[in-house]
């Protein structure tokens, strides 16, 4: 193990505002993907298993970033004077769940499932960068297809979309 490479990866992740992909890390430090993954696992073990660290290494869809351990959040909020945390409405959460489980999905399909217009809700979810336009459906009118973002994975602490809890398929049938 090259301690300088571990330190370099640590520095990249410490200074990153957003998760950094495995490929970006490997390219920046001139390492192979497998070597980079090995070094990241060393960092993950160091930060996630030892209690004296206040941060942990998080993985989101083959990208990595340091995050504060959740039990320390009150201290961070106090230092940075974070008092207001806005949550999503029930309508937004329901719409987000439909998009997460059925992606890529069009607005008409979401509206059929919810039984209401979701245009404003979709705008809100896009504003918070929880969903994005991923493509257009090859059909009349070419409606937009929506999917979740990496921010969605981070906010819900998911490594990938496959980590969503299982649901009965009949609950979201078209």
- Class of the CATH domain delimited by 3-79: mainly alpha
What mean pLDDT is reported for the chain? 90
pLDDT given for residue 169 in this prediction: 62
pLDDT given for residue 172 in this prediction: 52
pLDDT given for residue 50 in this prediction: 86
Q: Is the pLDDT of residue 128 over 60?
A: yes
Which tokens in the block code for residue 30?
């001139």
Pairwise CA distance, residues 86 & 92, whole Å: 12
> What are the φ and ψ backbone dihedral angles of 53, each rounded to 5 degrees?
-95, 140
Task: Give alpha helix (H) positions in the chain.
Answer: 3-15, 22-29, 33-49, 73-79, 90-102, 107-114, 119-127, 150-155
pLDDT given for residue 143 in this prediction: 93
Check residues 49 and 36 and name the one with the higher pLDDT.
36
pLDDT given for residue 102 in this prediction: 94
Residues of the chain with CATH 1.10.10.10: 3-79, 90-172
Q: Which CATH architecture has domain 90-172?
A: Orthogonal Bundle (1.10)
């Amino acid at each position: 193990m090259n301690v300088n490479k571990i330190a370099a990866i640590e520095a990249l992740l410490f200074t990153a505002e957003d998760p950094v992909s495995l490929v970006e890390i490997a390219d920046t430090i001139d390492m192979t993907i497998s070597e980079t993954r090995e070094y990241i696992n060393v960092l993950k073990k160091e930060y996630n298993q030892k209690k004296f660290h206040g941060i942990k290494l998080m993985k989101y869809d083959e990208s990595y970033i340091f995050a504060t351990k959740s039990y320390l959040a009150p201290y961070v909020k106090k230092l940075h004077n974070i008092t207001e945390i806005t949550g999503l409405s029930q309508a937004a959460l329901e719409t987000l769940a439909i998009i997460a489980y059925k992606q890529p999905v069009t607005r008409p399909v979401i509206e059929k499932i919810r039984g209401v217009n979701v245009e404003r809700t979709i705008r809100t979810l896009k504003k918070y960068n929880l969903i994005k336009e991923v493509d257009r459906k090859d059909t009349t009118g070419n409606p937009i297809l929506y999917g979740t973002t990496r921010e969605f994975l981070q906010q819900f602490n998911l490594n990938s979309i496959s980590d969503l809890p299982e649901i009965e398929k009949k609950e979201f049938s078209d």
